[in-house]
Structure 1
Amino acid sequence: MSRAEKQSRPVVLLRPVPGNSVIHELWAGTKLIAVFAFSVLLTFFPGWLPILLVGAVVLVAARIARVPFGALPSIPKLMWVLLAIGAGTAALGGGEPLVHVFGIDVALGGLLAFTRVTLLAVVLLGLSMMVSWTTNVADIAPAIATLGRPLKLLRIPVDEWATATALALRSFPMLVDEFRVLYAARRLRPRAQLPTRRMRWRRFGFELVDLLVAAITAALRRADEMGDAITARGGIGQISASTARPARRDALALVVVAAVCVLAALL
């Protein structure tokens, strides 16, 4: 295996994967409704069957959207170690069912509960990643504004909330890249060998403060540039304005989501 293959794959979020499919063409509000419905379902019915059903929906949607395997991030070794420690600790809790192994009763209740919670977290993360991989960030704010339109009767600033959400989503990938550049520049700086551990920890504190100040400065600079760009394009009202509306495929997708939720709740 080459060195390039051994390198870990970074987390790719808030950036749609290239391609076109039925999932890509769904209205952003439909995807948000689906994520909300599945989240509510798994909150009130966090059993094995609902988790597996929602996980199957995520896998089928990823297959239809032709999401490449390379879009999945690499799991660090430390995460596997933490999962192993958590599984071992949960297994000590015991509980049913009991399995007879070489004449010894082994209680798997705690381990199964830990596995179910871990699988639930993976499924919820998969739902969020599917929305990120198949939706343009610019379509999120108009969808939120459209879905929250009834709340305007209560004088809730839906458009402002949608604009703030859109700006946060657009700024996140940009700031992540900025922070990576700052961290790489810090690692390239020559570092003198200090004799004592106290001095090394003190230097680490100073470098951490310098890195935070540089990150805040970069974020403020990016915010100023984004503000000028928004003003030049007509203000924040243009961010939450869009002509995109649900189509027949969105109704079919919502029917499938409702059917999965009802089936999981009944079974």
Structure 2
Amino acid sequence: MSAPQRQPRPVVLLRPVPGRTAIHELWAGTKLLVVAIIGVLLTLYPGWVPIALVGLFVLLTAKIAHIPRGVLPSVPRWLWFLLFLGALTASFAGGAPHLTVASVDFGLGGLLKFLQITVLSIVLLGLGGLVSWTTNVAEVAPAVAKIGRPLRLLRLPVDDYAVALALALRAFPMLIDEFRVLFAARKLRPRDPATTARERHRRLNAEIIDLLAAAVTVALRRADEMGDAITARGGAGQISALPSRPKWPDAVAFAAVLVLCAVSVYVEVFTPLATT
């Protein structure tokens, strides 16, 4: 008897991991600002040292927040193939440093640049996932409204922007579940075998149109239900009017991030460890 195949783990986003750790208790605005600050840091100084420090920061924060490994999605095989293909093509660019094997010189500059961009992308994805796994969606809109309060001087509808963001974040995982049900129902639907390529092409087009129509119908139905629920609870203004303010742990988190940024900039600018 063959061993049962392990089911791939799906992507879990916008659903906080249960727990009441110090990371979970941080203000949502603090987490958003930290992501923005680290994003600016890695944009201006995308060296190995800042990437390593931010990666260590993400791992340490995930350890404090008790994030289990089960939340990490399974990596499909085609993605490994694409990474291998990208590394192979990038290695043809050459450049310093050079490696000499049996009087043959290999330039590793392109490969190292590709690895640097790949690791940077993984670190940023981990940072975004960490915010998603430790933040309740209901806390995002009040935090965005408070952060954007200075923009009200420019007569910008900050509260409306915050409400739109909150509704999008709430609807995203719900629609993903609906679409998964639609795809599962499509696979279970009996179909007559297609004998020619033209019939297979026409069937594929018809199935795409049916799925799009069903997806639009489901989205409209969910939007109508969400609108009724918001009206029953006092309107959309209540979403961004919840009390939301930072506390002293948020100041500690900001201080840690500022120290991280200062060390990264110092190493990149003033020490020989920085790489171009």
Tell me what 1:94 maps to: 94
Q: TM-score, normalised by structure 2?
A: 0.95
Taking the aligned partners of 1:123 and 1:96, their CA distance within structure 2 comes to 25
Structure 1 gap ranges (5+): none
Q: TM-score, normalised by structure 1?
A: 0.98
Matched, 1:41 2:41: yes
Tell me what 2:113 maps to: 113
Taking the aligned partners of 1:69 and 1:172, their CA distance within structure 2 comes to 23
Tell me what 1:54 maps to: 54
Show the 5 A alignment for 1:192-231: 192-231=192-231
Structure 2 gap ranges (5+): 268-276
Tell me what 1:3 maps to: 4
Taking the aligned partners of 1:123 and 1:60, their CA distance within structure 2 comes to 13
Taking the aligned partners of 2:41 and 2:30, their CA distance within structure 1 comes to 16
Q: Structure 1 counterpart of 2:192, which letter?
A: A
Query: Is the Cα–Cα contact under 8 Å of residues 10 and 74 in structure 2 kept in the other structure?
Result: yes
Matched, 1:187 2:191: no
Tell me what 2:238 maps to: 238
Show the 5 A alignment for 1:156-195: 156-195=156-195
Please state how far the C-alpha of 1:2 moved relative to its aligned partner.
4.9
Q: Structure 1 counterpart of 2:101, which letter?
A: V
Q: Structure 2 counterpart of 1:136, which letter?
A: N
Please state how far the C-alpha of 1:194 moved relative to its aligned partner.
1.2
Tell me what 1:150 maps to: 150
Q: What secondary structure is seen at the aligned counterpart in 2 of 1:18?
A: coil
Query: Is the Cα–Cα contact under 8 Å of residues 138 and 166 in structure 2 kept in the other structure?
Result: yes
Taking the aligned partners of 2:71 and 2:60, their CA distance within structure 1 comes to 16
Q: Describe the superposition over 1:210-235 as per-residue Cα deviations: whole angstroms up to 9, x where unpaired.
A: 00000000000000000000000000
Tell me what 2:272 maps to: none
Please state how far the C-alpha of 1:199 moved relative to its aligned partner.
1.1
Q: Structure 2 counterpart of 1:145, which letter?
A: A
Q: What secondary structure is seen at the aligned counterpart in 2 of 1:25?
A: coil
Query: Is the Cα–Cα contact under 8 Å of residues 24 and 135 in structure 2 kept in the other structure?
Result: yes
Taking the aligned partners of 2:4 and 2:28, their CA distance within structure 1 comes to 39
Tell me what 1:63 maps to: 63
Taking the aligned partners of 1:43 and 1:231, their CA distance within structure 2 comes to 42
Q: What secondary structure is seen at the aligned counterpart in 2 of 1:3?
A: coil
Q: How many residues align?
A: 266
Aligned-pair identity (%): 59
Query: Is the Cα–Cα contact under 8 Å of residues 90 and 111 in structure 2 kept in the other structure?
Result: yes
Tell me what 1:255 maps to: 255
Taking the aligned partners of 1:246 and 1:102, their CA distance within structure 2 comes to 61
Taking the aligned partners of 1:7 and 1:102, their CA distance within structure 2 comes to 46
Please state how far the C-alpha of 1:248 moved relative to its aligned partner.
0.7
Q: Describe the superposition over 1:54-93 as per-residue Cα deviations: whole angstroms up to 9, x where unpaired.
A: 1110000000000000000001101001101100010011
Q: Structure 1 counterpart of 2:39, which letter?
A: S
Taking the aligned partners of 1:54 and 1:187, their CA distance within structure 2 comes to 43
Tell me what 2:79 maps to: 79
Judged with a 3 Å threshold, the aligned counterparts in structure 2 of structure 1 residues 207 and 64 are, in CA distance, closer, same or farther, namely: same
Q: Which runs of 4+ in 1 moved over 3 A?
A: none
Q: What secondary structure is seen at the aligned counterpart in 2 of 1:24?
A: coil
Taking the aligned partners of 1:53 and 1:226, their CA distance within structure 2 comes to 42
Taking the aligned partners of 1:20 and 1:127, their CA distance within structure 2 comes to 19
Q: Structure 2 counterpart of 1:7, which letter?
A: Q
Q: Describe the superposition over 1:90-148 as per-residue Cα deviations: whole angstroms up to 9, x where unpaired.
A: 00111110012233211111000000001111111111100000000000000000000
Judged with a 3 Å threshold, the aligned counterparts in structure 2 of structure 1 residues 167 and 2 are, in CA distance, closer, same or farther, namely: farther
